[in-house]
Every structure is written in structure tokens, then in C-alpha cells.
């Protein structure tokens, strides 16, 4: 049997979802696949052909042996949700998604794994994509108390372009804008995903918690530019206004993306404004990322932004009309660029 799941880019709401703010994300036409079958024993064998690695463990020994032991946590979460596994299984993982580059390769893998487990269980389940995203989040983030939000698991599971609210409860709306071509470009720079997420999350959670204590009638969704910030430092004020600005950029983008015919130039401008906040306020860009961004924009991209936690990894440029020139420009400054489009969510092939 085979399961395949897309990677994703975050259009709007980067570094906002773990604060309880909404996001707009797009599943992309780079995918990860798990192909596998049942065994006659209790062993689980996972071949990671792209990494030239193979992982082994037994179904009756699911004690975590490493940080982010996602294959075991996925099985545990599925068992908690009623699945049983009398036999082990062996599978091969193949991926087109850049690893540790901000395009949700790990979440796409976890979504694929949960989906695969639901089909290879003793009594297979036809869980919908939202349920698969929910369980992947539990296996990846909740189980290991990680700092990430829900965007990655739900966007890769559900596919296409989604608007996701996590507060006061999870609400997901599929959008269907005709966006056209994007260029995904890998800087080749490794990044400290969890360190950056923790820094950006903790500083703002502390800030907004203190503001809400002093102003109990507000929350992160309602606070605005008129709030008294006299007790804050310059850095805290900058963090506050950066977070509010990105919140407002998403609202403008959502309004546009719900139209039958969108203003491509406006979407491009909003993407780049989002990037400026990520670069100047959250400090998640790098000199090479900026060279790639500048090259893309000079070659005619309508907008661009860093993708994922930042500190390296990928950018994407919005280039619905002149993609080849944008690819050449990014490659000329050391990036590795390719065309991507919106794609469907996790699916079971056979």
C-alpha cells in the first residue's frame, strides 16, 4: 500500500500560529511517500532510502529511544484512538520535499505515517484529512512538548490553500484562489528550527501575557495600536507592533484570496511586507536569504518571503508570469530554485 502527502509553504501568519493566531498555508507539489506491507512478525522496518538509513523496532517495545521518536509516537497515538496492530510492517520512505528547510518535511512524514497506520491496522480506518492532521499534531508536537503550532500537520494533511484558526476552537476553511506559479528556493543553509521557534514564541508569549494581565478585557486577537505600551522596552514595543502588523496583513490577504479573481500584485506586496516583519522584528533571515530575495524581486517576482522557522532553509517567490527568469536569478546567487504549485492533501493510493 502507498500513502503520499505534500509539503507546504506558509503564505501568511508565519510565526503566528503558536500564539493562537490564524494562518494561511498552501500545500505544494513536492510530496513524500510511504510504501509498505505487513510482516509475519512484530518487527517494524522503515527504510529511508533518501538518507540511506533503516530504522528497526518491535511493536511490543514502543519506549522512546531518541528525541522526536515520531514513528513510535505515531503508533502510540493511533493505538489511543482505537487502532490495533497484530503484525509488524516494513515500508520505504521517499521524499521530494527539502529536509530541514522550512517546507514541513517532518510534518508531511508524520501525516503520511498516521495515514499509513490507519490503513495497515488490523481494522483499517477511513479517517478524514482533518482527523489525520489532528493525530499527526498529537504525535509530533503534543507528545514531545514541542514549540510548534498546528499549521504544518493540518495544511499537509488537507492540501490546497487553507485558512486555519486554532482559537477559540479549531476552524479550517479551504480557499481556492487561482494563484498560479510559485518558486521554491533552498538556500542550503542549515537552521536551528526548534531554537528559533522557542525564541520567537517565548518572547512574545511572555509579552502578551503581561499585557493581558494589565488589560484583562483584551486578547491577542483584539489588541491594537492604541494600547498603552508605556511600561514596555523598545524591543518589546517592536515585537508587539510586528505581531499586530502580521495579524493585519493576514486579514487583508484573506479578504483578497476569497475573491473569484485576485489581485496578484497585491498578494505579492503583502507577502513581502510579511517578510520584512519576519526579517526586521523576529530576526529570522540571513544574508544569503536576502540575496536570494533581492534577486527574485529584481527578476520580476511579485513578492517573496522566507518560509518556515527561518535562520536558513527556503524562501518562496510569487512569480505567476515570469518564473524562468526568477529561477535563473535565484540560482545565480547560490540558491536552488524550482517551480511549485498548490497541490492536494494526503491521499491513499492503493
pLDDT in tens, 110-127: 999 999 999 999 999 999
Candidate from 44-53, 145-154, 269-278, 304-313 with smallest mean pLDDT: 145-154
SS3 97: coil
Report whether pLDDT(145) > 90: no
Q: Cα dist. 338→24, 186, 294 in Å?
A: 22, 9, 17
Report whether pLDDT(149) > 80: no
Confidence of residue 226 (pLDDT cuts 50, 70, 90): confident
Strands 43-48 and 89-95: parallel
CA distance 179 to 183: 12
Q: Cα dist. 87→110, 122, 178 in Å?
A: 20, 8, 45
What does pTM read for this prediction?
0.92
**Confidence (pLDDT) at 168:** 82
**Confidence (pLDDT) at 228:** 87
CATH class of 182-340: alpha beta
Q: Is the peptide bond before 134 cis (omega within 30 degrees of 0)?
A: no
What is Dmax (Cα atoms) for the chain? Answer: 67
* 7 DSSP β-pair partners: 28
SS3 292: helix
Confidence of residue 98 (pLDDT cuts 50, 70, 90): confident
Confidence of residue 191 (pLDDT cuts 50, 70, 90): confident
CA angle 282, 151, 139 (to 5 degrees): 115
Sequence ranges of the domains in the chain: 2-179, 182-340
CA distance 256 to 27: 19
Confidence of residue 184 (pLDDT cuts 50, 70, 90): very high
**Domain 2-179 CATH (choose: 3.30.230.10, 3.40.50.1820, 3.30.930.10, 3.30.70.60):** 3.30.230.10
DSSP letters, 160-227, are SEEEEE-SSS-EEEEE------EEEEE------HHHHHHHHHHHHHHHHHHHHHH-TT--TTT--TTS
Strands 161-165 and 23-38: antiparallel
**Confidence (pLDDT) at 176:** 77
**Confidence (pLDDT) at 271:** 98
- Give the mean model confidence (pLDDT) for residues 9-24: 93
Tell me 342's DSSP state. B
Query: Would you say 10 and 23 are in contact if contact means Cβ atoms under 8 Å apart?
Result: yes
Distant-in-sequence, close-in-space partners of 281: CB < 8 Å, separation ≥ 6: 238, 239, 241, 242, 243
- Give the mean model confidence (pLDDT) for residues 260-275: 96
* 36 DSSP β-pair partners: 91
Residue with cell string 494561511: 24
Mean pLDDT value across the chain: 93
Helix intervals (H) in the chain: 70-80, 105-120, 129-137, 151-158, 193-214, 234-257, 264-280, 287-298, 323-332
**Confidence (pLDDT) at 159:** 96
Q: Cα dist. 257→156, 178, 266, 270, 339 in Å?
A: 19, 9, 10, 12, 21
Amino acid at each position: 500500500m502507498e500513502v503520499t502527502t505534500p509539503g507546504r509553504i506558509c503564505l501568511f501568519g508565519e510565526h503566528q500560529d503558536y500564539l493562537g493566531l490564524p494562518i494561511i498555508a498552501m500545500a505544494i507539489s513536492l510530496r513524500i511517500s510511504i510504501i509498505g506491507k505487513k510482516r509475519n512478525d512484530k518487527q517494524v522496518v522503515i527504510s529511508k532510502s533518501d538518507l540511506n538509513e533503516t530504522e528497526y523496532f518491535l511493536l511490543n517495545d514502543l519506549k522512546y529511544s531518541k528525541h522526536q521518536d515520531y514513528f513510535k509516537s505515531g503508533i502510540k497515538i493511533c493505538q489511543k484512538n482505537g487502532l490495533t496492530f497484530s503484525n509488524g510492517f516494513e515500508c520505504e520512505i521517499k521524499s521530494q520535499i527539502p529536509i530541514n528547510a522550512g517546507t514541513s518535511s517532518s510534518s508531511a512524514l508524520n501525516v503520511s505515517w498516521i495515514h499509513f497506520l490507519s490503513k495497515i491496522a488490523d481494522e483499517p480506518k477511513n479517517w478524514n484529512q482533518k482527523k489525520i492532521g489532528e493525530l499527526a499534531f498529537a504525535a509530533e508536537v503534543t507528545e514531545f512538548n514541542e514549540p510548534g503550532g498546528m499549521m504544518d500537520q493540518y495544511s499537509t494533511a488537507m492540501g490546497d490553500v487553507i485558512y486555519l484558526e486554532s482559537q477559540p476552537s479549531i476552524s479550517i476553511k479551504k480557499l481556492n484562489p487561482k494563484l498560479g506559479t510559485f518558486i521554491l528556493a533552498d538556500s542550503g543553509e542549515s537552521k536551528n528550527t526548534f531554537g528559533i521557534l522557542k525564541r520567537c514564541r517565548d518572547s512574545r508569549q511572555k509579552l502578551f501575557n503581561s499585557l493581558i494581565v494589565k488589560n484583562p478585557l483584551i486578547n491577542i486577537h483584539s489588541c491594537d495600536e492604541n494600547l498603552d505600551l508605556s511600561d514596555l522596552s523598545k524591543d518589546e514595543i517592536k515585537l508587539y507592533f510586528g505581531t499586530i502588523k502580521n495579524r493585519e496583513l493576514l486579514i487583508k490577504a484573506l479578504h483578497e484570496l476569497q475573491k473569484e479573481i485576485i489581485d496578484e500584485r497585491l498578494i505579492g506586496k503583502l507577502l513581502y511586507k510579511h517578510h520584512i516583519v519576519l526579517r526586521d522584528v523576529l530576526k529570522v533571515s540571513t544574508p544569503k536569504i536576502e540575496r536570494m530575495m533581492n534577486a527574485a524581486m529584481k527578476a520580476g517576482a511579485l513578492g517573496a518571503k522566507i518560509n518556515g522557522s527561518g535562520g536558513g532553509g527556503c524562501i518562496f517567490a510569487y512569480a505567476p508570469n515570469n518564473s524562468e527568469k526568477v529561477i535563473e536569478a535565484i540560482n545565480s546567487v547560490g540558491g536552488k530554485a524550482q517551480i511549485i504549485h498548490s497541490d492536494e492533501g494526503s491521499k491513499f493510493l492503493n
